[in-house]
Amino acid sequence: MILVTGGAGFIGANFVLDWLAQSDEPVLNLDKLTYAGNLENLASLQGDTRHVFVRGDIGDTALVERLLSEHRPRAVLNFAAESHVDRSIHGPEDFIQTNIVGTFRLLEAVRAYWNGLDDEAKAAFRFLHVSTDEVYGSLKSGEPAFTELHRYEPNSPYSASKAASDHLVRAYHHTYGLPVLTTNCSNNYGPYHFPEKLIPLMIVNALGGKALPIYGDGQQIRDWLYVKDHCSAIRRVLEAGRLGEVYNVGGWNEKPNIEIVDTVCALLDELRPRTDGQSYREQITFVKDRPGHDRRYAIDAHKLERELGWKPAETFDTGIRKTVQWYLDNQAWVAGVTSGSYRQWVETHYA
Ligand code: NAD
Ligand code: TYD
């Protein structure tokens, strides 16, 4: 079996669902169920004995040690993290705790477990660390996209904490020989995306008749990848990635934020027109910029394509249409995640 951490979050849950749709290899899912973790994302697996869920912290050494020795996974995939840049600006502590200390403790427990395996199991074992393009910092217009050789220049507490975790993973390979793989991916979008991030927030606010808050001039550029393509890249790297290597994952799809919001509005105008006949674009509002806002991210995913033959299956046009449709079809899920502490966050942050 494989051990997935953070498998009740956005990308982790998509990964677990995709994995079990394609393989009978069981998944042990360790997730702390923070505000971002939601068992509703995994509701379709209820009663499926191939999925074992454990609520817990990657930094809980005794728990992780027990899970490893009881379940004997052949791989550990680390998705667990605090992942929202704006939250890291308001309060970095949890990011340091989970992304740095948590990853460190997980690595220590995995190293001890791996050391106790027989030679064959040791050689076959993998620790795959899921990371972000944000560790490379910000690009100027016209600068080439990030390759795996780009220097680390993280600018937010979030990206700095992810950068630290990447360095620890690298060091555990270099120093202890732990068979690690790291993926650095661009912005994901798709089903089960928590509506604090740009695309789901815009869909949910548009449908709720609320403002669509665009930071600064809206000309910040991100590369966007449909989440299922990220999952297929991770499966491919796990299967055939070279030990100790880093693979950048991206969608070859750089777009300014304003264009993303415009596309979301156009799709909603088509699929669920406003009753007053106006466009959802009317709800766009420019708000104060994020402090230290990175201007541009772009990923060069040639290495992954060249070495492992991976390419995204979705274009932005197909992926964003599926995503908007998913939110329209899953209003109960949205209602479930936008209650309580979510509302409090939105009120504080956008005040
Ligand atoms: P998310 O915030 O939606 O989910 C994170 C999950 O981790 C949640 O289920 C949460 O409960 C769990 N978690 C948090 N702290 C934990 C802890 N201490 N122990 C166990 N579980 C814990 O995040 P996401 O968007 O699914 O991102 C998953 C991973 O992918 C993260 O490592 C993130 O840095 C990386 N990533 C995200 C994106 C993106 O666009 N969302 C892009 C590239 C990389
Ligand atoms: P986000 O989804 O938070 O991802 P990240 O900061 O990790 O790239 O934000 C994507 C972009 O959208 C980023 O440039 C910030 C911007 N943004 C807004 O303009 N308004 C918003 O309300 C949010 C949440 C993000």
Q: What is the pLDDT of residues 94-153, one digit of tens each?
A: 999 999 999 999 999 999 999 999 999 999 999 999 999 999 999 999 999 999 999 999
Q: In the block, which residue shows the tokens 């600018």?
A: 155
Q: How far is the CA of 323 from the centre of ligand 2 (A)?
A: 17
The residues carrying an active-site annotation are 133-134, 158
Question: Residue 92 phi/psi, 5° resolution?
Answer: -75, -15
248 CB contacts (<8 Å, ≥6 apart)? 133, 146, 147, 148, 183, 184, 185, 299, 300, 301, 303, 304
Q: What percent of the chain has pLDDT over 70?
A: 100
- Structural domain contains residue 26: yes
- Structural domain contains residue 210: no
Binding pocket residue ranges, ligand 2, CB within 6 Å: 85, 187, 197-198, 201, 213-215, 220, 222, 257, 290
Q: How many domains does the chain have?
A: 1
Say what the alpha-carbon torsion angle 326, 228, 199, 183 is, to the nearest 10 degrees. Answer: 160
Question: Residue 189 phi/psi, 5° resolution?
Answer: -150, 160
Query: What pTM did the predictor assign?
Result: 0.98
Q: Tens of pLDDT along 305-316?
A: 999 999 999 999
Domain of 176, CATH number, reads: 3.40.50.720
- Structural domain contains residue 272: no
Q: How far is the CA of 282 from the centre of ligand 1 (A)?
A: 33
Q: What pLDDT does 339 receive? A: 83
Largest separation between any pair of C-alpha atoms in the chain = 68
- Structural domain contains residue 207: no
341 CB contacts (<8 Å, ≥6 apart)? 35
- Structural domain contains residue 348: no
What range does the domain containing 42 cover? 2-187+226-252+297-313
- Structural domain contains residue 169: yes
- Structural domain contains residue 342: no
- Structural domain contains residue 220: no
Whether 343 shows a pLDDT value over 80: the answer reads no
Q: Is 299 in the pocket of ligand 1 (CB under 6 A)?
A: no
Q: What pLDDT does 340 receive? A: 74
